[in-house]
Amino acid sequence: MRLLELPTPCLVLDRSILERNLAVMSAIVRRHGVAFRPHMKTAKSAEIARLAVAGEAGGIAVSTLAEAEYFGASGFLDITLAVGITPERLDRAAALVARGMELTLITDDPNTAAAIAAHPAPFRALIEIDSGEGRGGVNANSGALLVLGRALGPRLAGVLTHGGHSYAGRSIPEMQRIAEQERSAVVSAAWALRAAFFPCEVVSLGSTPTAMHARKLDGVTEVRAGVYMFNDLFQAEIHSCSRADIAMTVLSSVIGRRPGDNQVLLDAGAIALSKDRSTQSTAHDAGYGLVWGLDGTPRYSECRIESLYQEHGIARGNRPLPFDELKVGTKVRIAPNHACLTAAAYDRYHVVSGTDEVSVIWERVNGW
């Protein structure tokens, strides 16, 4: 099947770019001599997970129990659920452990830690550390760390942080500084636990920008990253990749033309693309996404999606668009601002390798 034959909107994944992205991150992390645990929250596909762990220890991270169940059913038995668990979810998580999964949970809450310790299932648990993002996690130097260690008892396996504030960085030196903040926070927490005679085998950190730019990872045992597999316009702006490293695009059809306004109307709207506007705060605001040719190149110069409705996107060129080519029905590919959110609207990838021939369809898991 060729891209021209696909119903739109749908996802196109270029396997050659995907594999290059996987190889780059793997090599970067391996250089530090630490384990790599791909985070599957972006790709949510067993086929992609198998490629991502090739040559690695085999463990993955996920963001929902639905992902843990899906990847467990696909044979992944070393999974870290890297979003804070609640006591109400432990029974559902325990069903995975009962089927042989080594499931690692994270928490920053003493009641939840006590519930994990009291649960019959032999979960492994990491204490979530806030390394500067201010989202989840306790401070590495706070007394809360030891309270959590005591509450988890024999379930305690280590510490985990996510330097998500790297998304606010705009230069490589900033990313290096944030990566060191992420590292020093989680390593400090590990040593604070060990100094109080708690075990702390796992020292886990990661985000695509910090994994990419960390200068040293001393004291760290594993790195997590997810969006690096696909990359997107925002990651290109924050120096995680170049635009040529964007592996996933949305195939879309022209459904209207306004030559007088140098605009085309596309069938990729707010559901198909997400309303993520992350590039707005960067040097190159891409609107809601950039319109590329069917061949995946920016052949329409800089044509960006300026308005988004539920099922319509309005794209405008910064130079005159070739309206003789852009007819109703013409297919284009849209590079997204934020691959994780764009992918979430779809249940499959149409996989190509540099050409317009779809070699295979890979499914993805959604929901919770």
Nearer to its own copies, 280 or 318 (CB): 280
Q: Choose which of 108, 222, 232, 356 interacts with its own copies (CB under 8 A).
A: 108
In the complex, the smallest distance separating the C-beta of residue 216 from its own copies, rounded to whole angstroms, is: 27
Closest separation in Å from C-beta 215 to its own copies: 26
Q: Which two tokens stand for residue 9?
A: 């909107």
Find the angle CA(295)-CA(301)-CA(303) to the nearest 5 degrees.
Answer: 90
State which residue, 136 or 296, has the beta carbon closest to its own copies. Answer: 136
Q: Looking at 20, 89, 239, 299, which residue binds its own copies (CB under 8 A)?
A: 89
Site map (CB under 8 A) of its own copies, residues 182-221, x = contact: ----------------------------------------
* Cα-to-chain-centroid distance, residue 299: 28
Q: Is 136 in the site for its own copies (CB under 8 A)?
A: yes
Neighbours of 98 (CB within 10 A): 10
What's the rounded Cα separation, in Å, for the pair 353 and 95?
38
Site for its own copies in 240-279 (CB under 8 A): 253-257, 261, 265, 267, 270-272, 274-277
Looking at beta carbons only, is 221 or 330 nearer to its own copies? 330
* Helix, strand, coil shares, percent, the chain, to 5: 35, 25, 40
Does residue 132 belong to the site contacting its own copies (CB under 8 A)?
no
Shorter beta-carbon distance to its own copies: residue 62 or 220: 62
**Angstrom distance (rounded) from CA 341 to CA 356:** 24
Q: Which residue, 282 or 366, is less far from its own copies as judged by CB?
A: 366
Q: Does 327 bind its own copies (CB under 8 A)?
A: yes
d(CA 71, CA 61): 10
Least distance in angstroms from the C-beta of 106 to its own copies = 10
Span of 19-27, 231-239, 336-344, 352-360 interacting with its own copies by CB under 8 A: 336-344
CA distance 126 to 107: 7
Exposed e or buried b per residue across 269-290, where buried means at least 16 C-beta atoms within 10 angstroms of its C-beta? bbebbbebebbeeeeeebbbbb
Q: What phi-psi label fits residue 175: left (phi over 0), alpha (psi between -120 and 50 degrees) or beta?
A: alpha
> Residue 112 is which amino acid?
T
Tokens of 49: 């997970």
Spatial separation of the C-alpha atoms in residues 296 and 333, rounded to whole Å: 6
Among 329, 355, 357, 360, binds its own copies (CB under 8 A): 329
Member of 88, 100, 173, 197 binding its own copies (CB under 8 A): 88
| Contact predicate 317/299, CB 8 Å | no
Name the DSSP letter for residue 354: S
Q: How many CB atoms lie within 10 A of CB 118?
A: 12
Tell me the site size for its own copies, rule CB under 8 A: 57
Site for its own copies in 16-75 (CB under 8 A): 41, 63-65
* From 234, 300, 346, 349, residue interacting with its own copies (rule: CB under 8 A): 346
Which residues of the shown chain bind its own copies in the complex (CB under 8 A)?
7-10, 41, 63-65, 83-89, 92, 108-109, 111-112, 134-136, 164, 253-257, 261, 265, 267, 270-272, 274-277, 307, 309-312, 314, 327-329, 340-341, 344-347, 366-368
